[in-house]
Structure 1
């Protein structure tokens, strides 16, 4: 696992989760203009959990 600083999407209707793994396809699909740093008080992405 390649852990990265937590980030999430601030796009309306996006999943309410944060990501912290650079191998997470869901996190990698977030469009650059919607990337936000930190967890945003959200739970960790299930895909990131499985990659841990």
Structure 2
């Protein structure tokens, strides 16, 4: 479990960004839908706990 550069989904309805490679929610985002950065979103609760 390691910090990675922040990323989020470009799909409509996205409300969180991720920054940990052990986050199951973040890992479920397909590569084609990933966008670098926070996008001005709040950090994922799962990433916060990791």
Tell me what 1:8 maps to: 8
TM-score, structure 1 as length reference:
0.89
Q: Which runs of 5 or more structure 1 residues have no equivalent in the other structure?
A: none
Deviation of 1:13 (Å): 2.7
| Counterpart in the other structure of 1:35 | 34
Report how far residue 7 of structure 1 moved. 0.2
Aligned-pair Cα RMSD in Å? 0.9
| Structure 1 stretches of 4+ moved >4 Å | none
**Aligned length in residues:** 50
Q: d(CA) in 2 for partners of 1:2 and 1:31?
A: 19
Question: What are the ranges of 5 or more consecutive residues in structure 2 without an aligned counterpart?
Answer: none
